Amino acid sequence: MIRSAPRLPRWLAGTLLLPLAACGGGASSEPEPERNAVAAAPTSTPVASPSPAPAKTGGRSEPVSILSCSADRGDAAARKLVKICTSVSPATHPPCNAVNSCAMIEDEIARSCALMGDDAAGTPGCEVDPKSDAAAADVVRRYYAAIDAHDYSTAWIQWGQDGRPGQRFADFQKGFSHTRATSVTIGRMAPSEGAAGSVYATVPVMVDAQLDNGRQQRFVGQYVVRRVNDVPGASADELRWHIDSATLKPAAG
């Protein structure tokens, strides 16, 4: 895993799952595996050399490495993703590397396509319009892909460059110490809406999680994803979709 410095830059490696406890207002609410035995939601903050997610082994947590893209999808698929990443990324940093999680590489591709703006049209890897609702849904997919790969830094930054508001990265990562695996299913989205210089998209989700004790959990709810609506002077990060809030609850039955 190779990333920026202490401030956890955007392309840092990591993942986040937040507790699904009572949701309120702007911050996302999701169950915290440790306390509520439930899967958590996203947050993201890059760090230079992020610490590995605690693995679940026989009742006690031990360090576990971030799942590399090669190990996750196979060498051929990872090489293809890296090739796209290096062709669009203007940076010389490490995200475009098969030893990183696929979520991190895909996040760098999305960031690079957003930086290109209208020039991204027709560019391999930039088929999804960075301003579209599909791109908003991809943020949530990347969030859970990062968590599943134990790449909590990449998950953390899906909340924005500074991660999830009101939470420290260390606490965000700790919330997943008993989560073995997660997956998300995206539901049908309503059209995004604008308000006060921003655009908001609501992403309905069903989240499945497995704890280290083998217990299966399912949550339903939604993520609200936001981006600045082409306001003059807005930074590239502000113009990108990021998670604004989350509301999840255990699925009935």
pLDDT in tens, 227-251: 998 777 777 788 899 999 999 999 9
How many Cβ atoms are within 10 Å of 124's Cβ, its own excluded? 10
C-alpha closest to that of 223 among 245, 249, 206, 194: 245
Better pLDDT: 183 or 5:
183
Identify the sign of the CA torsion 101, 106, 107, 108: positive
Give the pTM: 0.76
By DSSP bridging, strand 216-228 and strand 242-250 are: antiparallel
| Lowest-pLDDT choice from 22-36, 64-78, 105-119 | 22-36
pLDDT in tens, 144-169: 999 999 999 999 999 998 899 999 99
